Amino acid sequence: MTRTISRLFICYFALWLALSVVGKFISNQFFISSQISFFASLIILTASFFAYKNRINSRLENAREEILAKIEEDEEDEEILPQNEPKEFSLKDEKARLKKQKFSFKDRSFVAAFMPYRLVAYAMLFFGFIFLKNENLLNVPGFLVGLAPMPIGAFIFGIMQNNLRKDADGK
């Protein structure tokens, strides 16, 4: 995990460095706008990570008994059926099972979208924009370019991780 975080840090540090160099050559307003939006989006990324991490941890804690009950039920079903006979799949049984499941906002990603961490992070982005506008430092292309390294960094990091896994697996 530490190795992954250090690789992610290196990836975003390289993108920040490139953004800084390009921004300094274009204009001071471009540089300031891009830096504020970059760091605000970095805070949004971090807040999103912690929000989803907390959501997953709470779901794991709450669903532990349900998972164990399901495993025990599956084991009982396997004991009843002969080993060489496949389980019958019934569309009606599956539909009935899905209808029993209740809709809950906790089961959807709506809750993670409105976590306090993320709301504060988006507020920082908004207030950074307002600050730049009020101080006549806003450069809209610079602001948008400052937001771009987050998805680009995630894409590059995903490719790096995928290649590292392939190398580790020997494929």
| 135 DSSP assignment | T
Per-residue pLDDT at 155: 87
pLDDT digits (tens, 9 = 90+) for 40-89: 999 988 888 887 777 777 777 776 666 666 777 666 655 555 555 555 66
Per-residue pLDDT at 140: 92
All residue ranges of the chain with pLDDT < 70 are 1, 63-69, 73-90, 94, 97-114, 168-171
Per-residue pLDDT at 160: 80
For residue 34, the number of C-alpha atoms closer than 13 Å in the C-beta half-sphere is: 23
Per-residue pLDDT at 47: 85
Using CA atoms, how far apart are residues 165 and 171, in angstroms rounded to an integer? 9
Helix extents (H) in the chain: 2-26, 28-80, 91-100, 110-113, 116-134, 140-147, 149-169
Q: Please give the structure tokens belonging to residue 97.
A: 């099972």
Per-residue pLDDT at 26: 92
